[in-house]
Amino acid sequence: MPRYDHFVEELLGFLLARLDEPGFARLVTHEPQRMTAAYFEGGGGRAETRTVSFTGCVTCSQIPPCTLFRSHGHIDVPAWPCLPVRELALSFANAPYYRDEWRPEFTVVASGQLVHQPDQDQLS
Contact status: 33 vs Zn ion (CB under 5 A) = no
Q: Which lies closer to Zn ion via its Cβ, residue 60 or residue 79?
A: 60
Q: Report the alpha-carbon distance of residue 65 to residue 8 in Å, rounded.
A: 25
Only segment of 9-17, 31-39, 44-52, 59-67 that touches Zn ion (CB under 5 A): 59-67
Q: Which lies closer to Zn ion via its Cβ, residue 40 or residue 63?
A: 63
Distances in whole angstroms, Cα of residue 42 to Cα of each of 70, 72, 120: 9, 11, 38
Q: Report the alpha-carbon distance of residue 4 to residue 77 in Å, rounded.
A: 18
Listed in order, strand segments (DSSP E) in 1-124 are 32-43, 46-57, 68-69
Contact status: 57 vs Zn ion (CB under 5 A) = yes
- Taking the complex as a whole, the smallest distance from the CB of residue 45 to Zn ion amounts, in Å, to 40
Contact status: 30 vs Zn ion (CB under 5 A) = yes
Only segment of 9-17, 46-54, 76-84, 115-123 that touches Zn ion (CB under 5 A): 76-84
Contact status: 82 vs Zn ion (CB under 5 A) = yes
Q: Is 24 left (phi over 0), alpha (psi -120 to 50) or beta?
A: alpha
